[in-house]
Structure 1
Amino acid sequence: MHALELNDVTVTFRSREERGQRYTAVAETTLKVGAGEFVSVVGPTGCGKSTLLNVGAGLLQPSAGEVRVFGELLAGINRRAGYMFQSDALMPWRSAIDNVMVGLQYRGVSDAEAREQAQSWLERVGLAGFGDRYPHQLSGGMRKRTALAQTLALDPDIILMDEPFSALDIQTRQLMENEVLALWAAKRKAVLFITHDLDEAIAMSDRVVVLSAGPATRPIGEFAIDLPRPRDVAEVRGDPRFVELHSRIWSVLRDEVLEGYAQQLKKAA
């Protein structure tokens, strides 16, 4: 059974620039993530990657098509999914441990139990001694670790990640990628991961899906990543198979990136 299915999904918005006009961000797209599978989606800037993630989260209703979660038709918020945003959603007035606790508290977990679970997750992401720090007292990597603990503490069956490491320096980013892979390997949750970084997608994933340039984006390529696990995201880049996969995927993605770039220039003109 697939953990998450987007079947023939189309998403259309009303244009802000031209009243009455409609803009189709995603057209007739089918995307499936198996239970325990790590799937990355890559595509040009503005092609609709985050739109698909929001549809899978139940934050955005498709104009056409359907979403299924473990076979059940999704209506409303996807409560079996955890969402890690590009910008961390930490509350600045709450300490790190209080931020991790908040989702558990909303679910009715007692304060004592929520604190115990939150502390355990902070330890798992390497922040055992930082629970009393506030977001402004944490580095960018520490905030990302806190956000990761906040997401995983809810023990979601599906993890949705929207370019979560894009703002980090390369060394911190690779540490976070390896931490995510280690945590994922422990429980094998279904992951749908959005990224602009093709190296990151190949290094982390079981499968990489390539989207076309927008408007009306759609999948134009799908590649199984047969690199052995466990993986170190820095070391695996030197594997000849990694280089081969990168070349194959980039041959599909390159023209779409150029098309997307041309569209961005046209809008800016």
Structure 2
Amino acid sequence: MSTPALQLTGVSCTFVSKDDPGQRYTAVRDVDLTVGAGEFVSVVGPTGCGKSTLLNVGAGLLQPSTGRVQVFGQDLQGINTRAGYMFQAESLMPWRTALGNVMAGLEFRGMPMAEARAQAEHWLKRVGLGGFGDRYPHQLSGGMRKRTSLAQTLALDPDIILMDEPFSALDIQTRQLMENEVLDLWAQKKKAVLFITHDLDEAIAMSDRVVVLSAGPASHPMGEFAVDLERPRDVAEVRTTPRFIALHNAIWDVLREEVLKGYAQQLKAA
């Protein structure tokens, strides 16, 4: 077997309260999670179960309390330089144009300006924004801003793409367009993708494998499901197929109780 692109082994993350050092909260505990080279893996689970925590661990933005993180077989030390991160929140710099935002990471890496511009223009065209490079973020629709963020991430040509609910704020039509665009671009490059989402339909439609996390605290994987739907896929059309419905039912059987637990915990905290 080939070396996994990203491997988390026995990862736990415990946080200490700033107000009361005696109070501790364990977000995730003893998590084993693997993303193969070229594999698209989604993680689903109740709100607050530590999905984004695991993504931050994989990005090197958060050091786990215990456990091991490896990138292509090497222990991760500091920031994961082989990964690109697409955030849930807006991450574009408002003072830069769309072109300037896509160029930013390339400039920070020391790429010559002319080369960075050419590469940024290429990726803006790839995501359907070839004529919008001179627009500022406030002049773009929500979907266009997400496309710019996608181009910004892909322009760096990362070996691993980390995505934290990137389309959750979009309307359903724009969201499905973006999902299909991501799948088309992924099919061309076959990068390793770790995709965080609260939407089970989205997870199944896009992934090779879906990992279900338990409700927090101390979240951990409850099950893994291989998605054996043929590719290429249209995320809207595939949801009507019998196999998709069967997979949805099987995963929901595992996820349902955890969602109810998570909801009950939120009511207690309110």
TM range (shorter): over 0.9
1:15, CA displacement in angstroms? 2.6
**Residue 191 (structure 1) aligns with:** 193
Report the TM-score when normalising by structure 1: 0.99
Deviations 1:62-81 (A, max 9, x none): 00001000000001000000
1:171, CA displacement in angstroms? 0.1
1:18, CA displacement in angstroms? 4.1
Q: How does 1:97-136 map to 2 (within 5 A)?
A: 97-136=99-138
Deviations 1:220-267 (A, max 9, x none): 010000000000000000010000000000000000000000000100
Deviations 1:201-225 (A, max 9, x none): 0000000000000000000010000
* Aligned counterparts of 2:262 and 2:20: Cα–Cα separation in 1: 21
**Residue 49 (structure 2) aligns with:** 47
**Residue 265 (structure 1) aligns with:** 267
Deviations 1:94-128 (A, max 9, x none): 00000000000011101110000000000000001
1:19, CA displacement in angstroms? 3.6
1:17, CA displacement in angstroms? 5.9
Gaps of 5+ in 2: none
**Residue 34 (structure 1) aligns with:** 36
**Residue 235 (structure 1) aligns with:** 237
One-letter amino acid of the counterpart of residue 256, structure 2: R
RMSD over aligned Cα atoms: 0.7
One-letter amino acid of the counterpart of residue 50, structure 1: S
SS in 2 for 1:2: coil
Gaps of 5+ in 1: none
Query: Which residue among 133, 140, 143 is the counterpart of 1:141?
Result: 143
One-letter amino acid of the counterpart of residue 211, structure 1: L
**Residue 14 (structure 2) aligns with:** 12
Moved more, 258-267 or 18-27: 18-27
- Runs of 4+ in structure 1 off by over 4 angstroms are none
Q: How does 1:54-69 map to 2 (within 5 A)?
A: 54-69=56-71
Deviations 1:23-50 (A, max 9, x none): 1101000000000000000000000000
Query: Which residue among 73, 76, 88 is the counterpart of 1:74?
Result: 76
**Residue 92 (structure 1) aligns with:** 94
Aligned length: 268
Report the TM-score when normalising by structure 2: 0.98
**Residue 156 (structure 2) aligns with:** 154
**Residue 216 (structure 2) aligns with:** 214
